Structure 1
Amino acid sequence: MTIGFIGLGNMAKAMIGGILEKGLMAPNEIIGTAATEETRKKVADKFGIQVRTSNEAVAKEADIIILAVKPQYLKVVIADIMDSVDDKKLVVSIAAGKTISWLSNEFEKPVKLIRVMPNTPALVGEGCSAVCRNDLCSDEDYHFVKELLESFGKAYTVPESMMDVVVGVSGSSPAYVFLFIEAMADAAVEGGMPRKQAYEFAAQSVLGSAKMVLDTGKHPGELKDMVCSPAGTTIEAVHVLEQEGFRGAVMDAVTACIEKSKSL
C-alpha cells in the first residue's frame, strides 16, 4: 500500500506526521509532491518520505491519492492525474467547497472518492476531521482512511450536506479561537501581566475549558453557570459579553463562513 500526497503544505505535513507517529505506514510507503523543490526537500528531510517532481508520477504510484491543495488548484491537479487514476485507486480530497459530485465530474469517469474537512490543530495531534464518501468507496477503504485521520485527532462521519457547516464550526474556527485568546491576553497585558505569560494563561484556559466540555458531556451553559458565582467577577464579565453581542457575533461569523464555503 502506498499513499501519495499531492501538495505538501501544513495539513499534509500534519497528516504525514500523525500517520508515521502512530506507525500506520512506513516512510517508504508514503510519496508526495509539491510545487517547489524547496518544499519537497524540506518534507523529505523531515519525514524520510519519497518525493516526486510531478502530480502524475504520484498518482501513478499511489494506491491512495490525497489531494492536499487549495480548492482553486483542484481543477488543474485533476487534469494532471485523471489519466493515471483507475477504479482501483482511492482519491481523498481535503479541499473546502468542492463536492463529491464536482470531483466526479472533473475526473470524467467513475472514481472512488472520499471527501475530508480537517483543521489545523491536526498539526499538534488534536485535529477534528469530517468525512464522507461516494458509493464506489468500500467500507474497508473508508475505515482505513478514518484510521489515518484519527492518527492526528478525531474523525467523524457526516452527510455531505453538512460539509459547509463543518467548515464554519470546525475547519475555520481555530482562527476565531486564536482571536479570542489574543484578545484575552491583550487585556491581561493591559492589566500588567507579561505578554508571554498572558498567552499561556489564556491558551491553557481555553484548552481546559474545551476538555471539560468533551470529558464531562455537560452542556456548555451548565459549565458556564458553574463558574458564575452570585454577584461575582465572572457573571460581571459575562454580562459585558452579552451586552456587546458576543454570541451573536460568533454565530454571524460562523454563518458567513458557511456561506462562503458554499460559494467556492
Structure 2
Amino acid sequence: MAAAAEESGWRRVGFVGAGRMAEAIAQGLIQAGKVEAEHVLASAPSDKNLCRFRAMGCQTTHSNPEVLHSCSLVFFATKPHILPAVLVEVAPAVTAEHILVSVAAGVSLSTLEEEGAMVMARGRHAGSYEARLLQSLLEACGQCEEVPEAQVDVHTGLSGSGVAFVCAFSEALAEGAIKMGMPSGLAHRITAQTLLGTAKVLLQKGQHPAQLRTDVCTPGGTTIYGLHVLEQGGLRATAMSAVEAATCRARELSRK
C-alpha cells in the first residue's frame, strides 16, 4: 500500500459505480501515488465500465456490499436515481470506521484533470480528520476546496457546466479568427493557448480578472474596441445567466 494510505489509517479505496467520474478519481489517485491500483475495488452491475478499471490494474466486483466489506474509504459514483436503492443495499455493511463520499452528479471528466476544480462538503458525522484526508486525496486529481453544502450546486453550475461554456466561447473566438482569414487548426490552437495562458496568470498572480483585463487594454487600442462589442452583445450578463440556470437545474435534480 502506498505510504499515504498507511499513514492515514485506511487500507483500500472502493468505488460503488464505475463510470467516467469514478474512473477519473481512481486514475488520479493511482497516478499521484496515493493508492496502489491493486488496492482499488470498483463495483458495477455489468462489465462495460469495469473493464476500464481492470485495465488500470484495479480489482472489480458485481457486488456493491463487497466494496463496503473490503474498503474503509468508499466513493459512491452511481447515477442519482440509482443511489437511494444502492444505499439501502449496502447499509448493513456500513460501520463507524467507514468514510463515505458521494460524488456530485453532472461533473464532467475534464473537471478532474490537471486544470480542474472540485469542491467538497462535510456530512454531519465527518470531522476535520476526514475532511483533511479527502481533500489531500482529491487534490491528486485537481484543485479541491471545502465549501458549505449549499454551494455544491453552485460549483456544478460554475465548474461542471462551465467547461461547456468555456468551450463555446473558445469556439466562437476561433471562428472569429477564421472569419478574418486564419486557418481553422491554427485558430483553435491559438485560442486554446490564450485561454490556458490567461488562466495561469489569474491563478499564479491571484489577480481579479478585471485587473488583468485593464492591464491589457491600451487606450484607443484593439482590445478596448473588441470589448465594446462584447458589452453590446451582453456577454457578461449572458454568462452570469448561464451559471444561474445551470445552478438552478442542479438544485432541481438534487431535490428529485
TM-score (norm 2): 0.89
Decide whether aligned partners of structure 1 residues 118 and 147 sit closer, same or farther in structure 2, where only a CA change above 3 A counts: farther
2:129 to 140, 145, 165: 140
Counting aligned pairs with the same residue, the percent is: 34
For residue 119 of structure 1, report the CA deviation from its aligned partner.
5.1
Matched position secondary structure for 2:124: coil
1:205 matches 2:214: no
Mean CA deviation greater in 156-165 or 249-258 = 156-165
Matched position secondary structure for 1:24: coil
Aligned to 1:178: 167
Q: Is the 8 A contact 2:111 2:163 kept in 1?
A: no
1:164 to 153, 163, 167: 153
Q: How many angstroms does 1:256 deviate by?
A: 0.9
From 67, 84, 101, the counterpart of 2:93: 84
Alpha-carbon offset, residue 122 of structure 1: 4.2
Deviation, 1:195, is: 2.2
For 2:83 and 2:212, the matched residues in 1 are separated by 43
AA aligned opposite 1:74: L
Structure 2 regions of 5+ residues with no counterpart?
1-10
Residues 15-30 of structure 1 correspond to what in structure 2 (within 5 A)?
15-30=25-40
SS in structure 1 at match of 2:155: helix
- Equivalent in the alignment of 1:13: 23
Runs (5+) with no aligned partner, structure 1: 97-116
Alignment partner, residue 120 of structure 2? 131
Q: Calculate the aligned-residue CA RMSD, in Å.
A: 1.7
Q: State the partner residue of 1:95.
A: 104
What CA distance in whole angstroms lies between the structure 2 residues aligned with 1:171 and 1:203? 18
Q: How does 1:210-221 map to 2 (within 5 A)?
A: 210-221=199-210
Residue 48 of structure 2: which of 38, 46, 50 is its match?
Answer: 38
For the residues of structure 2 that align with 1:83 and 1:259, how far apart are their CA atoms? 34
C-alpha separation in 1, matches of 2:175 and 2:43 = 40
Q: Is 1:149 aligned to 2:147, yes or no?
A: no
- 2:8: which partner in 1? none
Structure 2: distance between partners of 1:34 and 1:182:
36
Aligned residue number for residue 12 of structure 2: 2
Which of 241, 249, 260 is the aligned partner of 2:230? 241
Match of 1:103 in 2: none
